[in-house]
Amino acid sequence: MSLIEVKNVKYAYSYNSEDAIIAVNDVSFNIEEGEFVALVGHNGSGKSTLAKMLNGLIIPLVGDVLIDGMNTRDDALLYDIRRQIGVVFQNPDNQMVATIIEDDVAFGPENLGLEPKEIRQRVDWALEAVGMSEHKKGMPFRLSGGQKQRIAIAGVLAIKPRVLVLDESTSMLDPKGRAEVLNVIKRLNKEQNITVVLITHYMDEALDADRIIILNKGKIAHMGGREIFLEEERLRSYGLNVPTHIHIANSLRKNGMDIGQIWTERELEDEICRLL
Ligand code: ADP
Ligand code: MG
């Protein structure tokens, strides 16, 4: 049994009216514990609808979502499902509830009804995990976008979920903030074995994932490794661009130059130096 099983799910908004919008159409995939999966797709491809299906905020019209074998259709299981799968959304300001950072992070564990000592430990651990310990007595509104998003992640981590779903959580951040948050997520995946589902339309964020799932118009268009970055035309047809350094390598190769496999900017630099 996989940790996450999505089986032939379908969802439509205003489905009983004439202008029904099919947001997710017959999507199936499994995710194993400890995996880092990037879920990418153009605006409107169904990513957020799928994210909400993962923690039972939306129940599929057709098909099933099972988290550790628990079906999101079963109301009695939703509490347990949401303890296993934490979702961080796009705008950190909408996710802050308290005026002191550590109280904000404590909100989730308090709602679980945990002992104060356990709450204290979890808050300290979560703030440490996102590198924000020294800000615990601070006020959220003083933080940068990247720092706020790290606090939002800490708030979800304090529930100790096995899966972290990030729905475009870096899209409102500047490059520095994005890098900060991405590094935190990668570390949590490697060091704490937390399963990560990173939803993004920045293809460079998908480069380091174990697996890439591409959604196009509500359907899965690709599921596999980063070899897909070599198929630029196909990606463009899904409304996705490849990172510049990969585009350069692909173009040089197309023009007959002997460029090897490259994934990072550094590797491209090395290849070009070798050729020169
Ligand atoms: P993404 O996150 O990839 O941008 P969404 O899941 O938000 O995609 O949207 C998928 C489709 O469903 C889009 O056509 C979008 O306009 C539509 N949609 C999303 N949310 C709603 C809603 N609350 N009401 C009606 N249509 C919606
Ligand atoms: Mg979205």
- Mean pLDDT in each 10-residue stretch from start to end of the chain (276 residues)? 97 86 96 98 96 95 97 96 91 76 92 92 91 92 88 91 93 81 91 95 91 97 95 95 94 91 92 89
Task: Kindly list the distances between the CA atom of residue 156 and the CA atoms of 11, 33, 34, 276, in Å, as whole numbers in the listed order.
Answer: 26, 18, 17, 49
For residue 69, the tally of other CB atoms under 10 A from its CB is 10
Atom number in ligand 1 closest to CA 201 = 3
Residue 239 near ligand 1, beta carbon < 6 Å: no
How remote is the CA of residue 47 from the centroid of ligand 2, in Å?
5
pLDDT value for 276? 85
pLDDT value for 92? 66
Atom number in ligand 1 closest to CA 215 = 3
Task: Kindly list the distances between the CA atom of residue 160 and the CA atoms of 2, 83, 119, 196, in Å, as whole numbers in the listed order.
Answer: 19, 7, 11, 13
Residue 47 near ligand 1, beta carbon < 6 Å: yes
Quote the CA–CA distance of 171 and 69 in Å, as a whole number.
Answer: 32
pLDDT value for 29? 98
| 122 membership: H or E segment, kind and range | helix 116-129
CB distance 9 to 64 below 8 Å = yes
Best mutation site among 15, 17, 21, 213 for ligand 1, i.e. most ligand atoms within 8 A of its Cβ?
21
pLDDT value for 106? 94
Quote the CA–CA distance of 31 and 112 in Å, as a whole number.
Answer: 26
Query: Atom 16, ligand 1: which residue's CA is nearest?
Result: 44
Quote the CA–CA distance of 11 and 244 in Å, as a whole number.
Answer: 35
CA-closest candidate to residue 134, choices 92, 186, 142: 142
In sequence order, which ranges of 222-263 are alpha helices (DSSP H)? 232-237, 244-254
How remote is the CA of residue 47 from the centroid of ligand 1, in Å?
8
How remote is the CA of residue 178 from the centroid of ligand 1, in Å?
24
Residue 48 near ligand 1, beta carbon < 6 Å: yes
96 is written with which tokens? 């802050």
- Outline where DSSP puts E strands in the chain: 4-13, 21-31, 36-40, 62-67, 70-71, 85-88, 163-167, 195-200, 211-216, 219-224
Best mutation site among 13, 90, 91, 167 for ligand 1, i.e. most ligand atoms within 8 A of its Cβ?
13
How remote is the CA of residue 45 from the centroid of ligand 1, in Å?
8
Residue 200 near ligand 1, beta carbon < 6 Å: no
pTM of this prediction?
0.93
Quote the CA–CA distance of 209 and 39 in Å, as a whole number.
Answer: 10
Quote the CA–CA distance of 47 and 200 in Å, as a whole number.
Answer: 9
Phi-psi bin for 226: left (phi > 0), alpha (psi -120 to 50), beta?
alpha
pLDDT value for 15? 77
CA-closest candidate to residue 148, choices 108, 188, 98: 98
Residue 49 near ligand 1, beta carbon < 6 Å: yes
Atom number in ligand 1 closest to CA 167 = 2
| 266 membership: H or E segment, kind and range | helix 265-275
Atom number in ligand 1 closest to CA 168 = 2
